């Protein structure tokens, strides 16, 4: 339980003067401070949304990413009751848990505007590339000028008993006789403790991405090693990045301000009889190559089929899927791409995609 915060100013190098604590409509100012400088909560956060509307009509005060690519929800308590604030932030978490990479990227780019795109803002903030798999876990943080006993009991119960990654942080406002304003910060529970309990008691809803070595091993096991190696080698030079997912190796292109997966190889769904499985986002490939979307199918081996990233996916997340059955089909496909003359804008290899 956080104890009462008291501060003293040192006057003349020897005398102590206790500073009175006040309210001054503190919570009305905290959101502005956090939006401008989230480091007053943590250096491991990047704000990607403010007043974010969920699909269920709720409004999240601040939405952030940490350096692992996990979502962090910040909700100001204001005048809400303990029941209201905990129910609200849990409701928001239920919505956040289903956000895809693309939805998160869209939300972030809209908020960041000229400070984006997301991958550049992430790199600037954390000094590392944006993970291609986002939102493997999520955190909840209630922000207040004070936490009542009931809210504290609820938060501790969820964290200690069920490993829910929920915490609270309080800000304490002081002002000396000269009018100097001072802000203090206290976490209800040590953030490291909350993180450990959450990871010990719960598992990610998403399995980790496979490494390139693991995908290569699957290709060998499925009897499509030669086709896999030829395509990976050829496609890596034609796209801007290479990444991995839990099932595939992804070839990624920069399109405007964003990096998007355009073409994937799926060795686990392959075999010596049917060949090496591929999936292509048709609209993205057409835009990347500067051709009409109708030409994309003509680049592919015969016997392709229409494919969608998920049921109900829009055209942006749809395309074609099929199999490379032999080395001749691979050479013909790569040759067609090379003839179109697409030159990569960067040469980076990253693990993780979506």
Q: Are residues 230 and 262 in the same domain?
A: yes
DSSP secondary structure of 245-283: -SS-EEEEEEETTEEEEEEEEEEEEEETTTEEEEEEEHH
CATH of residue 56: 3.40.1350.10
Average pLDDT over residues 122-148: 85
Which residues have a Cβ under 8 Å from the Cβ of 225 and sit 6 or more positions away? 216, 219
Which of 70-79, 122-131, 277-286, 343-352 has the largest mean confidence?
277-286
- Which pair of tokens denotes residue 119? 């991958």
In percent, the amount of the chain with pLDDT more than 70 equals: 87
pLDDT of residue 203: 52
pLDDT of residue 352: 47
Q: Are residues 247 and 332 in the same domain?
A: yes
Q: Are residues 196 and 341 in the same domain?
A: no
Q: Are residues 238 and 297 in the same domain?
A: yes
Q: Are residues 190 and 218 in the same domain?
A: no
Q: Are residues 185 and 242 in the same domain?
A: no
Closest CA to 260 of 136, 354, 123: 354
Q: Are residues 11 and 91 in the same domain?
A: yes
Q: Are residues 216 and 192 in the same domain?
A: no
Question: Distance of CA 257 to CAs 21, 324, 327, Å?
Answer: 46, 31, 35
pLDDT of residue 1: 45
Q: Does residue 98 carry a pLDDT above 60?
A: yes
Q: Domain for residue 26, yes or no?
A: yes
Q: Domain for residue 177, yes or no?
A: yes
pLDDT of residue 349: 40
Q: Are residues 32 and 170 in the same domain?
A: yes
- C-alpha 290/C-alpha 313 separation (Å) is 23
Read off the pLDDT of residues 17-67 as tens digits, 9 standing for 90 and up. Answer: 888 877 656 666 888 888 889 998 988 999 999 999 998 889 999 999 998
pTM: 0.56
Q: Are residues 169 and 35 in the same domain?
A: yes
- C-alpha 310/C-alpha 354 separation (Å) is 12
Q: Are residues 197 and 226 in the same domain?
A: no
Average pLDDT over residues 188-198: 72
- Residue that terminates a domain, selected from 167, 201, 235: 201
- C-alpha 111/C-alpha 107 separation (Å) is 6
The mean pLDDT value of the chain amounts to 84
**What are phi and psi for residue 57, nearest 5 degrees?**
90, 0
Q: What residue numbers bound the domain in which 157 lies?
A: 7-201
Read off the pLDDT of residues 57-95 as tens digits, 9 standing for 90 and up. Answer: 899 999 999 988 999 999 988 878 777 888 899 999 999
Q: Domain for residue 179, yes or no?
A: yes
Q: Domain for residue 1, yes or no?
A: no
- Quick one: which H or E segment has residue 88? helix 82-96
Q: Are residues 128 and 244 in the same domain?
A: no
Which residues have a Cβ under 8 Å from the Cβ of 270 and sit 6 or more positions away? 219, 222, 223, 224, 228, 276, 277, 323
Q: Does residue 308 carry a pLDDT above 70?
A: yes
Q: Domain for residue 47, yes or no?
A: yes
């Amino acid at each position: 339980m956080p104890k009462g915060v008291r501060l003293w100013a040192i006057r003349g190098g020897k005398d102590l003067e206790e500073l009175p604590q006040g309210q001054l409509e503190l919570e009305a100012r905290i959101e502005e401070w956090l939006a401008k400088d989230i480091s007053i909560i943590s250096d491991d956060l990047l704000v990607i949304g403010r007043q974010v509307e969920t699909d269920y009509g709720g409004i999240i005060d601040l939405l952030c990413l940490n350096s692992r690519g996990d979502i962090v929800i910040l909700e100001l308590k204001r005048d809400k009751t303990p029941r209201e604030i905990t129910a609200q932030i849990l409701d928001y978490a239920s919505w956040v848990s289903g956000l895809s990479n693309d939805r998160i990227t869209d939300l972030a780019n809209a908020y960041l505007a000229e400070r984006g795109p997301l991958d550049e803002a992430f790199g600037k903030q954390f000094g590392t590339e944006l993970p291609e798999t986002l939102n493997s876990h999520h955190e909840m943080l209630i922000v207040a000028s004070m936490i009542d006993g009931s809210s504290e009991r609820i938060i501790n119960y969820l964290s200690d008993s069920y490993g829910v990654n929920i915490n609270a942080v309080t800000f304490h406002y002081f002002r000396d006789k000269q009018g100097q304003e001072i802000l203090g910060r206290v976490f209800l529970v040590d953030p490291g403790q909350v993180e450990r309990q959450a990871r010990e008691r719960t598992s990610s809803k998403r399995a980790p991405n496979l490494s390139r070595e693991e995908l290569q091993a699957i290709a060998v096991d499925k009897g499509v090693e030669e086709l896999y190696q030829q395509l990976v080698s050829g496609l890596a030079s034609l796209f801007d990045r290479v990444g991995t997912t839990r099932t595939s190796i992804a070839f990624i292109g920069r399109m405007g301000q964003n990096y998007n997966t355009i073409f994937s190889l799926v060795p686990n769904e392959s075999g010596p009889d049917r060949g090496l499985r591929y999936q292509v986002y048709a609209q993205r490939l057409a835009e990347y190559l500067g051709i009409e979307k109708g030409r994309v199918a003509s680049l592919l081996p015969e016997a392709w089929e229409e494919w969608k990233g998920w049921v109900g996916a829009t055209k942006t997340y749809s395309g074609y899927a099929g199999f490379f059955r032999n080395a001749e089909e691979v050479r013909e496909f790569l040759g067609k791409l090379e003839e179109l003359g697409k030159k990569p804008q960067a040469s980076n290899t990253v693990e993780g995609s979506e």
